[in-house]
């Protein structure tokens, strides 16, 4: 696999080695040894999630203030614009964000470590989004930063008002949100 640094050093774009011919393709979507070498530490995933969304849906920006989750994310069908926001107050990249297009076509994955808010917007007609997490979902600890926060100024690629869940419509601004020490 190829590891591509992003503007935030801990967030990594991962390109698997793809073997393809006129019959289709094969790639190893996860290898614990190679992944741990790439991120420079032992990472244990405890949960796999799969969501399907239609075009224009925006999910996020989510994080858990207790039981923080690292996430390895990818689009198995369709394409998404995926975003990670540094919520670690002591970090030199606190309040910064990175965004990448992840698609079934490019087969790229994004490693979003603990301490980051995460969200994505569906660019294709539909998208199946797969992600592994380093801790279990804990709704009592979940937090949400509003997608269009003025301080973060995320440059979402779609020019339409996104389709949001009720929970995401009620997200807090970055300045109001709980952060990691």
Question: CA-CA distance, 34 to 141, in Å (whole number)?
Answer: 31
Give the pairing of strands 58-64 and 12-15.
unpaired
Residue 71 makes CB contacts below 8 A (sequence gap 6+) with: 111, 112, 118, 131, 132, 133, 134
Q: What does the buried/exposed string (b/e) look like for 37-48 if buried means 16 or more CB atoms within 10 Å of the residue's CB?
A: ebbeeebebeee
- C-alpha span between 93 and 39 (Å, rounded): 18
Q: Are 59 and 75 in contact (CB under 8 A)?
A: no
Q: What is the DSSP string of 111-145?
A: EE-TTEEEEEEE-SSEEEEEEEESS---GGGEEEB
Which residues are marked as active site? Answer: 62, 131
How much is the CA Rg of the chain, to the nearest whole Å? 16
Distance between CA 41 and CA 21 in Å, rounded? 35
């Amino acid at each position: 696999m190829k590891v591509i640094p992003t503007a935030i050093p801990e967030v990594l774009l991962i390109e698997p080695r793809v073997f393809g011919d006129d019959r289709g393709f094969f790639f190893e979507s996860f290898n614990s040894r190679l992944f741990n070498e790439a991120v420079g530490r032992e990472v244990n995933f405890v949960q796999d999630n799969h969501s399907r969304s239609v075009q224009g849906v925006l999910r996020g920006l989510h994080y858990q203030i207790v039981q923080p989750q690292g996430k390895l994310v990818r689009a198995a069908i369709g394409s998404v614009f995926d975003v990670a926001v540094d919520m670690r107050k002591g970090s030199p990249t606190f309040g910064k964000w990175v965004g990448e297009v992840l698609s079934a076509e490019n087969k790229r994955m994004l490693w979003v470590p603990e301490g980051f808010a995460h969200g994505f917007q569906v660019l294709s007609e539909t998208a199946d989004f797969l992600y592994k997490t380093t801790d279990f979902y804990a709704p009592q600890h979940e937090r949400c930063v509003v997608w269009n926060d003025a301080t973060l100024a995320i440059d979402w690629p779609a020019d339409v008002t996104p389709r949001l869940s009720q929970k995401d419509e009620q997200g807090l601004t970055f300045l109001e949100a709980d952060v990691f020490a």
